[in-house]
Amino acid sequence: MSDNTSSPVGEGAKLAAPKALVLGLQHMFAMFGATVTVPLITGLDIGTTLLMAGAGTLLFHLITGGKVPAFLGSSFAFLGGYAAVTVFADVPGGDAVLHKELLPYACLGVACSGLVYLVLAGAIKAFGVKRVMRCFPPIVTGPIIIAIGLGLAPVAVGSCKGNWTLALVALAVIGVCNIWGKGMIRIVPILIGLVVSYVLACCMGEVDFSKVAGEAWIGFPVRREMTVLGVDFSNGGQIWSAIIAIVPIALATIMEHIGDISAISSTVGRDFIKDPGLHRTLTGDGLATTFASLFGGPANTTYGENTGVLALSRVFNPIVVRIAAVFAILLSFCPKFAALIATIPGPIVGGISFVLYGMISAVGIRNLVENHVDFSKSRNLIIAAVILVTALGGVTLPLAIGKFHAVLSPLAVASLAGIVLNAIFPAGDYAARAAEDEPPKGNTFEV
């Protein structure tokens, strides 16, 4: 822990252009690894993914009045939905085969799932956020945020195993810069850690540049056959099968969205669920997902990695995130750059993730502390215990939908369990903040 008491840089604070550009670049790099992983798994295009992440982020900021410093990147929650539509075993017991010609159908299903966000946003607008947020008190959202970070921990460790030296160097540089660094060094530790460890990787012969040379410098990132225009709309059976298989996943991602917005609110020290309002953040996320999917990109979601960057850098001005979005859009037109970024060794990403994923869990803990959740009450202990064990223990909920089978993720099941237990158990002591109440305290966590 550091005893550096420098004040956070808020929305109204002015940033010099060079500093803002570097901070935006840091956010772009923070989201890059996870964002491009989704197209690598699903078969979607990396350039399209970057373009839609940037465009979706700007759309989200437009709808939310530019108040929420959130970056929208590729959602991992829909990986199972893509697989249900595009991957299956041609021969029982044989290898799974990716049928890329079916990706437009999966994208259509994801686009429809984004519309579910709009339905809930409309309900919140009609009935008020207080009634909805009574289902998501701190005793529910706090453990969910903790579970988001801890659930990603095995991913970070798994990435580090390839080369612990690179991972530890990245982790060490970030820690040194953030604790002992001064000025600009202290607020861009991730970017510095990435550069230092990448140079070391090059010296160790751990970077393969062979695929970079064959890529063009400039290329259009959207291909017509990968968009929903590639769907044969006379094939109603395939269309409805994709929609039915994928749309229910929105139930899980909506809960993740609420958890992410709660985490960002706690980090920044402003209640974004109240202003600009959960209905606006849901609308922004939902429309960004639908927009991205129509053009052949993956579903968008608010990114935990960037929440970690906010907590680490203490720079909360949303313009920095918008700069990151512009960087993503510009770089989506450069296939050679995408190939170069793909050369970053996994262990380096793992070392950086050690800090970011742990930061997410720390924000969840602070969410419980600042809202004075009383763990002397058995109801609170039980709710938190069930959420954590369900999420981290890998409990899933299969849903049979026609010929396809959807599965609610452990985080979604944990969220549902927390909501139900909070409603059933007596003596609930939380009410949504009234308009005159003070917003949550500002970020006080430092690495």
pLDDT at position 281, please? 95
pLDDT at position 295, please? 95
Residues 6+ apart with CB under 8 A from 369: none
More confident residue, 260 or 435: 260
How many contiguous H segments (helices) and E segments (strands) does the chain have? 19, 6
In contact, 422 and 133? CB cutoff 8 Å: no
User: Which residues share a beta bridge with 96?
Assistant: 89
Distance CA 184, CA 99 (A): 47
Mean pLDDT of the chain: 80
Distance CA 125, CA 117 (A): 12
Confidence of residue 26 (pLDDT cuts 50, 70, 90): confident
pLDDT at 201 over 90: yes
Distance CA 70, CA 31 (A): 11
User: Which residues share a beta bridge with 404?
Assistant: 401
Q: Is the pTM of this model over 0.95?
A: no
**pLDDT tens-digit map of 131-181:** 776 777 888 878 887 887 787 788 788 888 889 999 999 999 988 988 888
Distance CA 407, CA 107 (A): 18
pLDDT at 283 over 90: yes
Token pair of 55, please? 């465009």
More confident residue, 410 or 4: 410
- The percentage of residues in the chain with a pLDDT greater than 70, rounded to a whole number, is 84
pLDDT at 3 over 80: no
pLDDT at 305 over 80: no
pLDDT at position 395, please? 84
Confidence of residue 18 (pLDDT cuts 50, 70, 90): confident
pLDDT at 5 over 50: no
Helix or strand (DSSP H, E) at 198: helix 189-203
Confidence of residue 446 (pLDDT cuts 50, 70, 90): very low
**pLDDT tens-digit map of 48-104:** 999 999 999 999 999 999 999 999 988 877 876 787 787 643 434 444 566 788 899
Omega within 30 of 0 (cis) for the link into 69: no
pLDDT at position 444, please? 31
**pLDDT tens-digit map of 381-430:** 999 999 999 988 888 777 665 555 556 667 778 888 888 999 898 765 54
pLDDT at position 359, please? 77
**Locate tokens 């453990």: which residue?**
143
Distance CA 152, CA 18 (A): 33
Report the candidate in 421, 356, 359, 355 with the shortest Cα–Cα distance to residue 388: 421
Distance CA 285, CA 116 (A): 11
In 269-377, which ranges are continuous DSSP H helix? 278-294, 304-313, 318-332, 335-341, 346-370
Average confidence (pLDDT) over 332-346: 83
pLDDT at position 13, please? 56
**Locate tokens 């409990």: which residue?**
395
Distance CA 260, CA 46 (A): 24
pLDDT at position 194, please? 85
In contact, 335 and 51? CB cutoff 8 Å: no
| Alpha carbon 122 to its chain's center | 23
Helix or strand (DSSP H, E) at 62: helix 46-63
pLDDT at 443 over 50: no
Distance CA 326, CA 317 (A): 15
In contact, 105 and 239? CB cutoff 8 Å: yes
Average confidence (pLDDT) over 235-259: 77
pLDDT at 105 over 80: yes
pLDDT at position 56, please? 95
Residues 6+ apart with CB under 8 A from 112: 243, 246, 247, 290
